[in-house]
């Protein structure tokens, strides 16, 4: 007589993978990416706003003694100073991306509405938050990140404090002033808040005015101009690393990423094609 003994099935080890950094973007306290399987957050508070998207799995949490959840297409905004916890819904855990924003982006008057409705089903907002995370991952793309964050904050305020939205009027003179400013600061660059102060406009209105007038976002215009200048310098024999510095890019890899996206080839290959 034979008895088959089955070894107990091993459970996968709990995973806790995190990446965190503080970008040079006004209003962003921290960027936090995490993959947890079995970890559950106890009740805690933050002094910053928590802007959360879940890329895989789901999270359930309690906020102000009410249960909430984060399905895949939801953007969650947890207000500062309000206790909350968090735990995975499935055995596979969850993968999330979080931005911690200070009160310069969303003021304290929005805390109450955020407690009442922290989970926002808004595909446009969800896509914009994902685009912002991609911009924040690359040094040198701070202008893009700041522009995207400005529009995200405006949309969040619209959710928390809804009002009748009027159709914005084209403001071509304002857009023209910003274009002149970007052309003047092509290499050294300029922060969105500084540009808005110089042309006496709200940052969100400034981005919308420029995009409406020229059909391209300010950060896209700036990168296009820099790549255009880089092409000329490469054809004159400049080395990619030197050209990156001369045209305002953070480093050679920053130049390569934008150059490849706009031209279709790397700066080195473009340079070697010159006759």
pLDDT of residue 66: 78
Structural domain total, the chain: 3
C-alpha 69/C-alpha 79 separation (Å) is 15
Position 16 pLDDT exceeds 80:
no
Residue 11 domain flag: no
Q: Over pLDDT 70: what percentage of the chain?
A: 90
pLDDT of residue 215: 87
- Same domain for 136 and 102: yes
- Same domain for 181 and 86: no
- Same domain for 206 and 94: no
Task: Show the tokens assigned to 141.
Answer: 């793309």
Position 34 pLDDT exceeds 60:
yes
Note the Cα 150 to chain centre separation in Å. 10
pTM: 0.83
CATH number at residue 254: 1.10.10.60
The pLDDT tens digits for 120-149 are 999 999 999 999 999 999 999 999 999 999
CATH number at residue 116: 2.60.120.280
The pLDDT tens digits for 210-243 are 999 888 899 999 999 999 999 999 999 999 999 9
SS3 content of the chain, % helix, strand, coil (to 5): 45, 20, 35
Contact between residue 185 and residue 198 where contact means Cβ atoms under 8 Å apart? no
C-alpha 263/C-alpha 274 separation (Å) is 14
Report, as an integer, the average pLDDT of 150-156: 95
- Same domain for 199 and 241: no
pLDDT of residue 164: 46
C-alpha 98/C-alpha 34 separation (Å) is 8
Q: What does the mean pLDDT of the chain come to?
A: 87
Which residue, chain included where needed, has tokens 């274009």?
A: 179
pLDDT of residue 67: 82
- Same domain for 197 and 101: no
pLDDT of residue 11: 52
Weakest-pLDDT range from 23-37, 38-52, 64-78, 102-116: 64-78
The boundaries of the domain holding residue 263 are 225-272
- Same domain for 189 and 255: no
C-alpha 21/C-alpha 24 separation (Å) is 10
Residue 150 domain flag: yes
């Amino acid at each position: 007589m034979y008895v088959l003994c089955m070894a107990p099935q091993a459970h996968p080890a709990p995973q806790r993978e995190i990446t965190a950094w503080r970008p040079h973007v006004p209003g962003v306290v921290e960027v936090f990416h995490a993959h947890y399987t079995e970890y559950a957050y106890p009740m805690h508070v933050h002094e910053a706003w928590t802007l959360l998207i879940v890329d895989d799995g789901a999270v359930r949490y309690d906020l102000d003694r009410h249960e909430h959840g984060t399905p895949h297409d939801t953007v969650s905004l947890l207000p500062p100073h309000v206790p909350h916890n968090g735990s995975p819904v499935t055995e596979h855990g969850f993968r999330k991306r979080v931005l911690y924003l200070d009160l310069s982006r969303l003021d304290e008057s929005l805390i109450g509405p955020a407690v009442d409705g922290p989970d926002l089903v808004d595909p446009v907002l969800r896509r914009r938050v994902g685009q912002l995370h991609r911009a924040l991952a690359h040094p040198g793309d701070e202008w893009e990140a700041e522009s995207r964050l400005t529009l995200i904050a405006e949309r969040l305020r619209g959710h928390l404090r809804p009002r009748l939205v009027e159709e914005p009027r084209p403001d071509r003179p304002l857009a023209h002033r910003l274009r002149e400013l970007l052309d003047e600061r092509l290499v050294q660059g300029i922060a969105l808040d500084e540009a808005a102060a110089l042309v006496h406009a709200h940052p969100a209105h400034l981005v919308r005015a420029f995009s409406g007038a020229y059909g391209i976002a300010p950060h896209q215009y700036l990168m296009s101009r820099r790549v255009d200048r880089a092409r000329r310098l490469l054809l004159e024999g400049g080395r990619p690393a030197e050209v990156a510095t001369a045209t305002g890019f953070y480093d050679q890899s920053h130049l390569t990423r934008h150059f490849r996206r706009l031209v279709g080839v790397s700066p080195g290959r473009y340079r070697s094609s010159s006759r």
